[in-house]
Structure 1
Amino acid sequence: MSQHPSFPQGIYSLPQDNNRLALRQPVRHEDPLKERLHRKQRLAAAYRLFAQSGFEVGVAGHFTARDPVEPDHYWINPLGVPFSQISVSHLLRVDGDGQVVEGEGVLNTSALELHYDLQKARPEVVGIAHVHGFHGRVWSSQGRLFQPITAEAGAFINDQVIFDRHALRAADGRLEQDRDRVSQAFVETFADHNLLVWQNHGLWAVGQTVESAAWRFILADDTARAHLLAYAAGTPVVPDLDPADSGDKARHEFFAWLNFLPLWDRIRVEQPDLLD
């Protein structure tokens, strides 16, 4: 299909039928090496987009992408490199033992077991995003899930859960400090949901692609902002929805992936060095 010169590669390049998308699932590369590069490029782009959204607080936060060549490995940003400067060459590949096997840089070890254990428990998950968006952090202090007060919030109905880290207690009644036990509780709570609200800490979003995980996190922080504003203004109307109205997960996954594509087109044109 010929390309319109004013349109970047993205949604416009997808298969069409009479000016309608003829696609209902994310595009993947059959060649694992090409898929690896694809995931690394989208991961670097997502970090830059997160920077533009103000999701960076010091050295906190991490977004990982499962490696398609070694599925028990993942790619992650090096500690201390600003999100706004991350490029493909900065990314580190980490194995199941938490060791860097490719790339140069300091590894952020604050949540390695959470990413690895979640990835191991859910083979369909490719992207795992947890960065410190302001609105998501504030909303997490409420200990509440999103309500369908906006159309966008509806994407999370029946697909979100709360994790109360401070409710985990050791045998002596003190806060549980064993990282393996905390990770196990985290994974069990996450279950098969795509959004987790870590109470008093922030949001976690996952996806079957890097793109869907990134978009889901961006949308979740935006939804948190909408909730904070709506509840500060008064008592928003919460529609009484049938659980079936939330739609199927495959549809939500496809549209999360699709919504990232214009962001990818924009950031790669504005900041082509992210591909270095």
Structure 2
Amino acid sequence: MTEATARQSTMSHEEWEVRKDLAAAYRLVALYDWEDLVFTHLSARVPGPEHHFLINPYGMLFDEITASSLVKVDRDGEIVDPGATNRVNPAGFTIHSAVHMAREEAGAVLHLHAPDGVAVSAHKDGLLPLSQTAMLCLDHIAFHDYEGVALNLDERERLIRDLGDKNMMLLRNHGTLTVGRDVGEAFTYMYFLMKAAEIQVRTLAQGEPYLPSQQAIDTTSEQSKQLGMASKLTWPALLRKLERIGSDYAT
């Protein structure tokens, strides 16, 4: 019996499926070059009434993460997984626990420091309606001002107040955050947000941008209401991508 099989035998089928999805998200973040060494975090709620969630072991690169290596913690950041031998990052816990505790439907929370996302978070006007992708994101975005490295548990109240019911957030001078009912939905939101940020950085580098009409912005905003539903198509396709390149995320 492999170590991964032994770990899998200690948990429910539902937990193992969430572990595989979350590990896949870590690998995809690395694949898209959005990682920041061992920093930033992706988390997912473990099915069940215990209010436990999964997060990466501190010190592992994102392209090393597997389903069995993820660490299960409670809402206070205490490790509750008897098989875990690694520690977690307290700054990662602060941000993710805030959202999981406040949003019952938050099955997954993704937080990145990718350069284009940080650049747009530091722009005075945030995300601009410079592309169709950006316009699909605008109504989903909240903002939270930078308060220092997220070690202060008091910040949680302000962060969830600023997030409200939105599914995307620009953490000013810091990075991006998305929330989804599951890992696939949260990743799809992040993909759209990061693509919009990348386009904005490139567009502004060219000089004065061309802005669409307010009518076009409003129309696209209305069309964006079901943006999260795109994950029904995108997530299975992304998992197939990982399988084609031989990723061992599901071990």
Q: Is the contact between residue 158 and residue 243 of structure 1 (CA under 8 Å) also seen in structure 2?
A: no
Q: Is the contact between residue 176 and residue 182 of structure 1 (CA under 8 Å) also seen in structure 2?
A: no
Q: Decide whether aligned partners of structure 1 residues 133 and 71 sit closer, same or farther in structure 2, where only a CA change above 3 A counts.
A: farther
Task: For structure 1, list consecutive stretches of 5 or more residues without a partner in the other structure.
Answer: 1-31, 167-174
Q: Decide whether aligned partners of structure 1 residues 107 and 266 sit closer, same or farther in structure 2, where only a CA change above 3 A counts.
A: same
Q: TM-score, normalised by structure 1?
A: 0.79
Q: Is the contact between residue 39 and residue 65 of structure 1 (CA under 8 Å) also seen in structure 2?
A: yes
Residue 202 of structure 1 aligns with which residue?
175
Residue 266 of structure 1 aligns with which residue?
241
In 2, Cα distance between equivalents of 1:200 and 1:115: 18
User: Is the aligned partner of 1:225 residue 2:228?
Assistant: no
| CA positional deviation for 1:113 | 2.5
Give the secondary structure class of the aligned counterpart of 1:157: helix
What is the one-letter code of the residue matched to 2:64?
A: Q
In 1, Cα distance between equivalents of 2:246 and 2:113: 23
Q: Deviations over 1:106-144 (max 9, x none)?
A: 211113132112112111111100022121112222143
* Aligned positions of 1:122-141 closer than 5 A: 122-141=103-122
Q: Decide whether aligned partners of structure 1 residues 178 and 202 sit closer, same or farther in structure 2, where only a CA change above 3 A counts.
A: closer
In 2, Cα distance between equivalents of 1:252 and 1:100: 34
RMSD: 2.3
| CA positional deviation for 1:46 | 0.9
Residue 160 of structure 1 aligns with which residue?
141
| CA positional deviation for 1:261 | 2.2
In 1, Cα distance between equivalents of 2:73 and 2:136: 31
Q: Is the contact between residue 77 and residue 91 of structure 1 (CA under 8 Å) also seen in structure 2?
A: yes
Residue 40 of structure 2 aligns with which residue?
61
- After the TM superposition, which segments of 4 or more aligned residues of structure 1 sit over 6 Å from their partners? 175-178
| CA positional deviation for 1:178 | 8.0
In 2, Cα distance between equivalents of 1:177 and 1:273: 31
Residue 160 of structure 2 aligns with which residue?
187
User: Is the aligned partner of 1:83 residue 2:49?
Assistant: no
- Of structures 1 and 2, the larger Rg is shown by 1
In 2, Cα distance between equivalents of 1:71 and 1:143: 41
Give the secondary structure class of the aligned counterpart of 1:100: coil
In 2, Cα distance between equivalents of 1:152 and 1:220: 8
Give the secondary structure class of the aligned counterpart of 2:131: coil
In 2, Cα distance between equivalents of 1:121 and 1:227: 31
Give the secondary structure class of the aligned counterpart of 1:158: helix
Residue 30 of structure 2 aligns with which residue?
51
Q: Decide whether aligned partners of structure 1 residues 265 and 233 sit closer, same or farther in structure 2, where only a CA change above 3 A counts.
A: same
Give the secondary structure class of the aligned counterpart of 2:210: coil
